[in-house]
Amino acid sequence: MTASTTAPAVRTVRCPACGGPSLYAADNLWRPFCSERCKNLDFGAWASENYRVAAQPVVDGGDGGDGGESSGPAVRSGGGSINH
């Protein structure tokens, strides 16, 4: 066999969900997971927002020194025109 016709090496990796062995190959439909169950459990954890990125909490300064107005986009109520 030549280099262009050899099949890529199949690696065994740890399943991210259960830690068991998982074949990391094109024919593993659940790659990098070892089974459909592990894939679905991981997807469910993402959908339930169980995974989080660590960050510093955002502290609302309260008064903020701007006279009590919000720093977000202006929202107007009522009619469609602004009286100046």
Phi, psi of 45 (to 5 degrees): -65, -40
Residue 25 falls inside a structural domain: yes
Q: Residue 69: its pLDDT value, please?
A: 53
The tens digit of pLDDT for each residue in 30-57 reads: 999 999 999 999 999 999 989 888 888 8
Residue 57 falls inside a structural domain: no
CATH number for the domain including 26? 3.30.50.10
Q: How confident is the model at residue 10 (pLDDT cuts 50, 70, 90)?
A: confident
Q: Which domain holds residue 31?
A: 11-47
Q: Residue 84: its pLDDT value, please?
A: 46
Residue 36 falls inside a structural domain: yes
What is the total count of domains within the chain? 1
Asked if 19 and 32 touch (Cβ cutoff 8 Å), the reply is no
Q: Bigger pLDDT: 63 or 78? A: 63
Asked if 34 and 21 touch (Cβ cutoff 8 Å), the reply is yes
Q: Residue 75: its pLDDT value, please?
A: 55
